[in-house]
Amino acid sequence: MSAGTTGAVLPAVTPAADLPGWDPRWSQLVTAPDHTGAERTWHVLDTAPHARDGEVVGTLLCVHGNPTWSYLWRGLATAASAVPLGWRVVAVDQLEMGFSERTGVQRRLADRVEDLAGLVGALGLSGPVVAVGQDWGGIVASGWAASLHHRPASPVELVGLVVANTAASWPADAGAPGVLKAVLAPGVRRRVTSGSEAFLRTTLALPRPALPAAVKAAYRAPYSTPAERAGIDAFVADVPVGAQHPSRPALDAVSAGIGELAAAGVPTLVAWGPRDPVFTEWFLRDWRARVPHADVHRFASASHLTPEDPAFADVVLRWLDARVLAPAAHEEAPDPGPAVPVPPLWAALRERSGDPAVSGSPAVVEMRPDGTSRAVSWALLARRTDELAAGFAARGMAPGQRVSLLVPPGADLTAALYAVLRVGAVAVVADAGLGVRGLSRAVTGAGVDWVVGVPRALLAARVLRWPGRRVAVADLVDVAAEGARALAAGTALPPEPGPGAEGAVLFTSGSTGPAKGVVYTHGQLAQLAQAMGRVIRIGPGQPLVSAFAPFALFGPALGATGVVPAMDVTKPATLTAVALADAVAAASATSVFLSPAAVVNVLATAGDLDERQRRALGTVTTLLSAGAPVPTPLLQRVKELMPLADPRTPYGATEVLPATDVGLSDILAAGAGEGICVGLPVPGVTVAVAPLDADGVAGVDLVGTPGVVGELVVGGEHVKDHYDQLWATQAASVDVRPSPTLRGTVRAGRWHRTGDVGHLDEQGRVWVEGRLAHVVTTADEVVTPVGVEQRAESVPGIARAAFVGIGPRAARQLVVVAEATDAVRRTTVADPVLSQAVRTATGRNLVAVLLVPALPTDVRHNSKIDRARVTAWAERVLAGERAGKLA
């Protein structure tokens, strides 16, 4: 029953017709009985009266939260109305809210669920319906959806549930969630909710990018007076904090109902804004636990008002198409795993430690800044891995739990990683090079249950409130001792995880947007390691020096000694030639893996090498550099240091590495071309092209035709399993239609759209021409950037160049922004002679050639040019604005 009053009684009205993004034809006033049977008038957004062509396939019943109204769903309504085969959108203004009637009645959660049921009946909704809700409207929508099985005569068929930043439950013994604690403090609530616009304005300030002033004004339109805002106050007062709150039984009933929907397999999408100060990561983890089959998509920059994210409507409609309208067409066949079983990553530890001839030889060698080293044998590494696995299990680490490993490369990280995998937990590997903010976003978003790290990492975990139990690196000795006692007492390790179980979440570099979590199964990790081993040419008796943290872990998995040079692994450019030579000498390493930035600094410090160190580098037979293109002149200089090596630059990404392999000799044999030659696909991999259209957009059809420019798409057994909590990103990455000649070369679901553009040549070699996002489309043509940049860099005085387009497409202008050599005066605009030389070399009518001391690069490899920043800077310069520093 209702309890108390909320304020003055006010009639329902329709909003002004000129609100941004609002179609006045949507506005309807509908009379329906509320939970008491009293007739109430609702304002409803309803796209049904809107003139449209095509068939309506169902209804999206959308419920807003506090302190918004149906205006929240205008983007979804617009998008759904724009397609021929679309959804009817019905978005309600809850009673006491928006432009609906102010009845003066205090409405509890259970009342609102019944009120919504009465409105659905009055609207005559029938057939397929998807319940959609945000904030506390998500709880109301979920409660209504769950109640349908108690309404046997209902003509509604619930076919899906979409929730955005809302709750599935909340502990009875917990305080108010997030910042609501402050709002619910004594004497505060009414003052900031109904007594002023403070609560309303604070909510509207959360989205990023910020909402336009006119949109904020539209949200405030129905809440101009304290009487109109009384419902905002009542909604906050109804937050069920504590076991005795009047709405606690209703919330518990909704939670139970969500469990029933999950058990029934109702398709569910959880759309999440990770920057929400109210519905924090705890709520998302709770949804994932209660609805394990739910699809999750995190909108990286979104906060509380997730439907305001520009991509929200598109993601929801694509999900509806895939999961509700035509699920059978989008379902992937169960992955049977690789045709030939691959041993787990820790198998080599057992084999090497069990071989008396090699068990005492080094498995991991750590180099120290003072020139000394620490070596850990195969026998010790294998024993420590088992002990740590047993110790972690004894402390409660369980299969499927996620473990963030923030430990520098070396024996501790190697043993901890293999122990976590052996337990069946999921290793979360996020590079410290992401920076504090990026690393925190990655660890928090992954939903880790454990954090194993150095003191600085654990301090960050406390300060930044990362989830999970914490284990210091120094405490690993105690964990191992606990595990040793358990093993000695006869306690068995947990069963080995199967090849289809999740093994790791590896985060991308963040060079093309927020870092994404890439999920690999155990079988895929083993496939990846073997593929890398073939390219790096390592194995038993072939040590590997790795200056890039993830690859320092592959050596032991392949039976090769892993050597970590003395450097800051989060900053590849800190590797010196001396440190590299000492690492090679320490284990007589034959293979070296460097990032492009590390290569540059090794060459820059080569003058510090003594004769012994030069001889050590002269024994290297395989040098690999990956993560970004490496200029041929740089590879040629490397060969002077390592004359026995044919420098190789395998191409790939966190999602699939390696994809292709190429050496300096191959590059020289290929000669000049449009872009960078990255060689032939590695065994077991197929590279295809999704051609670009006149708008620079890559389609879904895949071809293997030489010379066709498009997005490069890679298929193979060691392609990622999926992106973590990025349903739409994953769906887009595998959305391909292979040509007849490509069908059967790759199993369904084992494709990956790389986001790179390029082409294949007549010999099957792959050429990379840039990133899809950096393709410049003008009114007349589509231009990929790398070829233009290479030709610009051939001009004396230009060290490195970025090619960008500025302005609207119809009048887009082409610009080269370049790092000038020391011989060129550092003015912002190049002199006429240099500008003309660049125009001639590129063959482009450039509106300007701009010079900068340095181009901005990514955080992990320090080598990928951030063309988005370059574009924005060039636009400011050419508009005569104060541009500031670029890098």
Model confidence over 529-579: pLDDT tens digits?
Answer: 888 888 888 888 889 998 876 677 778 888 999 999 999 877 888 899 999
Please name the CATH architecture into which domain 776-878 falls: 2-Layer Sandwich (3.30)
Chain-centroid distance of CA 696 in Å reads 24
Question: Range with the lowest mean pLDDT among 220-224, 651-655, 746-750?
Answer: 746-750
Tokens of 675: 């872009």
Q: What is the mean pLDDT of the chain?
A: 91
191: pLDDT strictly greater than 80: yes
Give the rounded percent of residues in the chain with a pLDDT score beyond 70: 95
Higher pLDDT, 109 or 337: 109
Average pLDDT value for residue range 698-721: 95
Residue 333 pLDDT: 47
Residue 619 pLDDT: 95
pLDDT 10s digits, 202-247? 999 999 889 999 999 999 999 999 999 999 999 999 999 999 999 9
632 falls in which pLDDT band (50, 70, 90)? confident
747 C-beta neighbours (distance < 10 Å), count: 17
862 falls in which pLDDT band (50, 70, 90)? very low
Q: Are strands 56-63 and 622-625 parallel, antiparallel or unpaired?
A: unpaired
Identical fold, 666-773 and 776-878: no
597 falls in which pLDDT band (50, 70, 90)? confident
pLDDT 10s digits, 133-167? 999 999 999 999 999 978 778 899 999 999 999 99
Please name the CATH architecture into which domain 24-326 falls: 3-Layer(aba) Sandwich (3.40)
pLDDT 10s digits, 829-848? 888 999 999 999 999 999 99
Tokens of 266: 């109702």
Q: Tell me which residue has tokens 């619930």.
A: 158
CA distances from 175 to 16, 169, 170, 180, 550 (A): 39, 13, 9, 9, 41
CATH 2.30.38.10 fits 666-773, yes or no: yes
Nearest in space to 165 (alpha carbons), one of 174, 183, 178, 146? 178
| Residues pairing with 852 in the sheet | 819
CB 731 within 8 A of CB 776: no
Q: Which residues of 760-793 are buried (b: 16+ CB within 10 A; e: fewer)?
A: beeeebbbbbbbbebbbbbeeebbbbbbbbbbbb
Which 3-state string (H, E, C) describes 247-283?
A: CHHHHHHHHHHHHHHHHCCCCEEEEECCCCCCCCHHH
What lies within 8 Å, CB to CB, of 586 at 6+ separation is: 365, 367, 373, 563
pLDDT 10s digits, 402-438? 999 988 888 899 999 999 999 999 999 887 777 788 8
If you average pLDDT over each of 84-93, 476-485, 558-567, which comes out highest? 476-485
pLDDT 10s digits, 669-697? 999 899 999 999 999 899 999 999 999 99
This prediction's pTM: 0.91
Tokens of 199: 């609560």
439 falls in which pLDDT band (50, 70, 90)? confident
Residue 863 pLDDT: 56
CA-CA distance, 222 to 505, in Å (whole number)?
45
CA-CA distance, 813 to 791, in Å (whole number)?
18
| Residues pairing with 806 in the sheet | 813
CA-CA distance, 425 to 393, in Å (whole number)?
10
4 falls in which pLDDT band (50, 70, 90)? low
Q: What are the extents of the domains in the chain?
A: 24-326, 666-773, 776-878
169 falls in which pLDDT band (50, 70, 90)? very high
CA-CA distance, 109 to 730, in Å (whole number)?
36
